[in-house]
Amino acid sequence: MRSDTGALQTNSVRIAGRNVDVPNVIQQELLHLSDECHASEALCCEMWYLASDLSHRESVERGVRQPAGAIAGSIPAAARHFLVFETKHRLNLFKEFLRLRFDDHMTPTTAITNKLMADQLLPKLVAAVDAQLPKLLQIPRMELSASYWHCLVADALVFIAASCHATPQEVAQLGVLQQMFCARLNASVMKVSPHIVNLSAFAHLFKRGSLAGTPSDGAVKQVACMLQAMVTAQTALFNVLLQKSEKMDHNTGDRVGGLVLGGSEMVATMRALHSVFLQQGWTHAGMQSVAMLAWAGFLKVTDESSTSNRA
């Protein structure tokens, strides 16, 4: 579904400070690209405009070492490539902004990310993992890129968890996120694991074939990306559950410390999380065990804190 439905209502759009005519036939191509990649029409227009320059297509094709004509020979293919590259670039830039929260010399960028935190950044990222990335995984030409984007989102979540005091709702969302990543990891592993029992056959497939419709080298890279994203998301969970150091409250901007789920008013949230971590049906028992370990550590620290307060 297109996220921006008004960009092509006229035959002219404004790109890079100038009006650009968009014939009806190109509009249909842009609508198709928008639907296929789940991107806004405005962004698709920008990428198509860049792709319409042959010298630009040829330069990019040489830079990414693609076969001759793979990008330069097709404006739609080039626009799609530029769209994927632009998404990757934005996610990387976004992650770096969050990383710079730990650099005392980068106060201006901290102010920018503070605004994002106050605008429900963590829930929005989890929602993107839940709703948007699965759609992109279903697009053959984007599934490997979408797998890597899971890693970038997970990295961003770690920086958020390490710098901001999470709300109980955000802790619960990180708990559910573990299950999402487990399911995606398991789905990618299932493409590869049936072939590992025979290494010579697997080597043959790796050179010439595909696994469940995915190029064999791409299938292995998907497993690596999903495993990395899963482990990184677990790091974020450990951080919010076990770290007591002072972090920023993204609603007030104040520095607050202590366990995020401390206090009797958090009992309902704790019960809900307890059910998530211990319930049956996780698609990867090993990863569930790691999440349960984080939860057990939190319960131990909470019990010790309660005992100390009573004493």
Q: Are 246 and 255 in contact (CB under 8 A)?
A: yes
E-only strand ranges, the chain: 12-15, 18-21, 210-211, 214-215, 247-248, 255-256
Q: Which of 65, 88, 111 is the last residue of a domain?
A: 88
CB neighbour class for 126 (10 Å; exposed up to 12, middle 13-18, buried from 19)? buried
Q: Which of 64, 88, 112 is the last residue of a domain?
A: 88
Q: What percent of the chain has pLDDT over 90?
A: 22
Strands 255-256 and 247-248: antiparallel
Name the phi and psi angles at 244, rounded to 5. -100, -5
Verify that 66 and 171 share a domain, yes or no: no
pLDDT at 2: 39
> Is residue 5 very low, low, confident or very high in pLDDT (cuts 50, 70, 90)?
very low
Between the ranges 111-115, 198-202, 204-208, 231-235, where is the mean pLDDT highest? 231-235
Verify that 124 and 270 share a domain, yes or no: yes
Verify that 143 and 188 share a domain, yes or no: yes
| pLDDT tens for each residue of 210-251 | 555 556 667 778 888 999 999 999 999 998 888 777 888 877
| pLDDT tens for each residue of 96-106 | 999 998 887 77
Q: Is the pLDDT of residue 95 over 60?
A: yes
One-letter amino acid of 219: A
| pLDDT tens for each residue of 175-191 | 889 989 988 888 887 77
Verify that 139 and 285 share a domain, yes or no: yes
Verify that 37 and 131 share a domain, yes or no: no
> Is residue 3 very low, low, confident or very high in pLDDT (cuts 50, 70, 90)?
very low
pLDDT at 122: 92
For residues 268-291, average pLDDT: 84
- Integer Cα distance of 140 and 262 in angstroms: 45
| pLDDT tens for each residue of 126-170 | 999 999 999 998 888 888 899 999 999 999 999 999 988 888 888
pLDDT at 251: 73
Residue tagged 């990387």 (tokens): 92
Q: Is the pLDDT of residue 264 over 70?
A: no
Q: Is the pLDDT of residue 4 over 70?
A: no
β-pair partners for 98: none
Give Cβ neighbours of residue 290 (< 8 Å, ≥ 6 apart). 234
Verify that 37 and 165 share a domain, yes or no: no
Return the CA Rg of the chain: 23
For residues 75-87, average pLDDT: 91
- Integer Cα distance of 45 and 120 in angstroms: 29
For residues 249-270, average pLDDT: 73
For residues 76-91, average pLDDT: 91
The boundaries of the domain holding residue 292 are: 120-310
Verify that 200 and 125 share a domain, yes or no: yes
Higher pLDDT, 132 or 5: 132
Q: Which of 32, 66, 88 is the last residue of a domain?
A: 88
β-pair partners for 18: 15
The answer to whether residue 104 is domain-embedded is no
Cα-to-chain-centroid distance, residue 13: 30
CA distances (Å), origin 217, targets 52, 58, 68, 94, 107: 31, 26, 21, 28, 42
Among 238, 306, 250, 29, which Cα is nearest to 123's?
250
* pTM score above 0.85: no
Q: Is the pLDDT of residue 1 over 70?
A: no
Verify that 149 and 24 share a domain, yes or no: no
pLDDT at 217: 66
